[in-house]
Amino acid sequence: MREAVGVIELSSIARGIDVSDQMLKVSNAQLVKASTVCPGKYIVIIGGSTSDVETSMKRGKQAAGEYYVDSLLIPNIHSQLIPAIGLTNPVNSLKAIGVMEFYSVTSGICAADIAAKAANITLIEVKIGYAIGGKGVVLFTGDVEAVKTAVAAAIAETELLLSTTVIARPSEKILQTLL
């Protein structure tokens, strides 16, 4: 079965920790990330089979109660998505760089999945809200045309886009800051 990813955003850190615990107890979904995000919210990201993620998401929404802010479930995700969120995606070489910045974490996660499916790119990182004002930022690399194709696909299918850039020949000094 293909993997899925689920995200729940809460307005309470204490409830977020409790919700993440409850979500992990009702299925075999794996915790990808659970942390505070700016400004004072908590986000839980889980991965696994679509049925496990759906089960955990249902429980998480129930447990969140009045602290529920937003959620996202993406079935059949690209294989690079979870490693990019967890900062474990191997990047063998850097070429052109694409950067997409969104007003929300969930929009950034959606955009990363869309971009990876649309073109032959390598996701470097999906930044999740902390110390960046609750935004979602996606960094990836590939040939210039592939990067442009990935950005265009994500723009066409996502919301809350703030800014994008494609750097055709990045400086070595910039490259070092991304890895």
pLDDT on residue 135: 86
The tokens describing 54, both together, are 């759906």
pLDDT of residue 43 exceeding 90 = yes
User: What confidence tens digit (pLDDT) does each residue in 139-157 have?
Assistant: 999 999 999 999 999 999 9
pLDDT of residue 1 exceeding 70 = no
Candidates 35, 95, 25; CA nearest to 58 is 25
The tokens describing 51, both together, are 């049925």
> What does the alpha-carbon distance between residue 98 and residue 162 come to, in Å, rounded to a whole number?
14
The tokens describing 6, both together, are 């689920």
pLDDT of residue 92 exceeding 90 = no
Domain(s) labelled CATH 3.30.70.1710 in the chain stretch across 3-74, 81-178
Higher pLDDT, 171 or 90: 171
pLDDT of residue 86 exceeding 90 = no
Q: What is the mean pLDDT of residues 131-136?
A: 78
- Fold type of domain 3-74: Alpha-Beta Plaits (3.30.70)
Q: What is the mean pLDDT of residues 144-171?
A: 95
Contacts of 62 (CB under 8 A, 6+ apart): none
DSSP bridge pairs for 36: 42
pLDDT of residue 134 exceeding 80 = no
How many H-runs (helices) and E-runs (strands) does the chain carry? 6, 8
What is the pTM for the complete model shown? 0.90
Q: Are 134 and 117 in contact (CB under 8 A)?
A: no
pLDDT on residue 176: 74
pLDDT band at 111 (very low <50, low <70, confident <90, very high): very high
pLDDT on residue 77: 95
Task: Select the CATH number that applies to the domain covering 81-178 from these four: 3.40.50.2300, 3.20.20.140, 1.20.1740.10, 3.30.70.1710.
Answer: 3.30.70.1710
Residue type, 129: G
Q: What is the mean pLDDT of residues 58-76?
A: 96
Q: What is the mean pLDDT of residues 111-140?
A: 90
Give long-range contacts, CB 8 A cutoff, 24+ apart: 18-26: 18/63, 19/44, 19/60, 19/63, 19/64, 20/44, 20/60, 22/59, 22/60, 22/63, 23/56, 23/57, 23/59, 23/60, 23/63, 24/56, 26/55, 26/56, 26/59
β-sheet with 3-10: strand ranges across: 30-37, 41-49, 3-10, 68-74
Q: Please, where are the H alpha helices in the chain?
A: 13-25, 50-64, 81-85, 105-118, 144-157, 172-178
pLDDT of residue 178 exceeding 90 = no
Average pLDDT, the chain: 92
